[in-house]
A and B are shown apart, each in its own frame.
Chain A
Amino acid sequence: MQRKPLLFPDALKSVWAVLRKDALSELRSKYAFSTLAVFALTCLSAISMSIAGGDLTPLVQSVLLWVILFFSAMAGLGRVFVQEQDAGTLLMLKVYAPPQAVYFGKVIFNVLVLLCLSLLVLLLFIMFFGMAVTDWVVLIGALWLGSAGLSVVATMTAAMAAQVQGRSTLFTILTFPIILPEFLTAIETTRGILAGETVAASQFLFLGGYTLVALIVGSILFDYLWVE
Chain B
Amino acid sequence: MARVLSRGDKLFGLIIGLWLAGATVAVFLLPPVVNLGYKARMLFFHIPMAWIAVVTFFMGAWWAFRYLRTRSLDRFYLSSLSNRIGLVFSFLATVSGIIYSKMTWYSEAPWTFWTWDVRQTTIFILLLIYTAYVVLGFSIENEETRATISSVYSLFSFATVPFLVFIIPRLYFSVHPDLTDNEGGLGSGLGFNMIIVLVIALVGITAFYVWMLRYGAAHRRSQIAELARIDAEEGSTRNGEESE
Is chain B found bound to chain A in the same assembly? yes
Q: Is the CB of A176 within 8 A of B149?
A: no
Does B129 lie within 8 Å of A225, measured CB to CB?
no
Pairwise interchain contact A221-B140, C-beta atoms closer than 8 A? no
Is B12 interfacial (CB-CB < 8 Å)? no
A174 adjacent to chain B (CB < 8 Å)? yes
Task: Kindly report which residue of chain A lies nearest to residue B157, judged by CB atoms.
Answer: A178
Interface string of B54-81 (1 = CB under 8 A from A): 0000000000000010000000000000
Q: Is the CB of A221 within 8 A of B156?
A: yes
Chain A: residues with Cβ within 8 Å of the partner, total of: 28
User: Are A177 and B152 in contact, with the CB atoms below 8 A?
Assistant: no
Give the shortest distance, in Å, between B119 (CB) and chain A (any CB): 14
> A164 near B129 (CB under 8 angstroms)?
no
CA A217 to CA B61, docked complex, whole Å: 13
CB closest residue in chain B, given A217:
B159
B152/A225 in contact, CB under 8 A: yes
**For chain B residues 155-197, which have a beta carbon within 8 Å of chain A?**
155-157, 159-160, 163-164, 167-168, 171
B: which residues have CB within 8 A of A?
A: 68, 121, 125, 128-129, 132, 135-136, 139-140, 144-145, 148-149, 151-153, 155-157, 159-160, 163-164, 167-168, 171
Residues of B within 8 A of A156 (CB): 156
Residues A176 and B152 in contact, CB atoms below 8 Å apart: no
Q: Is the CB of B139 within 8 A of A160?
A: no
Contacts of A186-228 to chain B: CB distance below 8 A: 202-203, 206, 210, 213-214, 217-218, 221, 224-225, 228
Contacts of A177 in B (CB 8 A): 125, 128-129, 132, 157
Closest to A202 in B: B171
